[in-house]
Amino acid sequence: MDSAWSIAASLPWITTVFIACILALWAYFFFFRFTPVVVANAPAVLTSLGIFATFVGVASGLSGFDTGDVQGSIPALLDGLKTAFWSSIVGIGGAVLIKLKHLVKARRTDQDEAAHESATIDDLADLLRELNRVLVGDEQSTALSRLELSGQGTNDRLDALKRSLDEFLANMAESSP
C-alpha cells in the first residue's frame, strides 16, 4: 500500500485531476447508473477521457520543454508522460471493469432465470468461454482489442514524439556555435 501512495504522491497535479475525474465517472457508472445504455457507452467515454488526458499530458510536457535548457526540461516532459500513461491506464481499466461487471451480471441473470440447480462443470466452462469471448474474441469491441488499440496509439504518439525530439536535438546541434 505504501508503494501506491508513493506513486500517487509523485504524480503531477494534472494527472491527479484527470484520474480523479475518470474514477468519479467510473464509480457513478459502475455503482449508480449501471444500465444497458451505460454499458454500451461508458467504456467509450472512459477510454476517450483517458486518451484526451494522454494528449494533454504530452502537450503539457512539451510546453514545459525549454530548448535552451534541454537537460533541465526533461523532468517537465516526464511529468507530461506520467499524465499520459496513468490516465490512459485508469480510463481503460474502468472501461474493462464495466464490461466485466456487465458480463457477470448478464450471466447471473441468465442463471437466475434458469431452473435453480447446482452449478456444474459445464456451467463453469460456459462462463469461461463467454469471458474469453469478451476479452479476446474476434470483435473490435473486446477488452483486449481496445487495450491493444490504445496501447498502439500511445506507442505511435511516443514514436512521433521521439522523432520530433531527435530532429530538434539534431537541429540544435547543427545551429550551435
Q: What is the pLDDT of residues 13-26, one digit of tens each?
A: 877 888 888 888 88
pLDDT tens digits for range 114-138? 555 567 788 888 888 887 777 666 6
Give me the percent of the chain exceeding a pLDDT of 90. 0
Whether residue 152 has pLDDT greater than 80: no
Report, as an integer, the average pLDDT of 63-79: 79
Residue with cell 499524465: 83
pLDDT of residue 168: 74
Smallest CA-to-CA distance from 5 within 92, 54, 27, 16 is with: 16
Q: What's the full length of the chain, in residues?
A: 177
Q: What is the mean pLDDT of residues 44-49?
A: 86
Q: What is the mean pLDDT of the chain?
A: 77
Asked if residue 158 has pLDDT above 80, the reply is no
Is 80 exceeded by the pLDDT of residue 54?
A: yes
**Mean of pLDDT values over 81-88:** 81
Torsion, Cα of 48, 53, 58, 60 (10° steps): 150
pLDDT at 164: 79
3-state secondary structure 85-137: HHHHHHHHHHHHHHHHHHHHHHHHHHHHHCCCCCCCHHHHHHHHHHHHHHHHC
Domains contained in the chain, number:
1
Residue 139: give the domain boundaries: 2-175
pTM, rounded to two decimals: 0.52
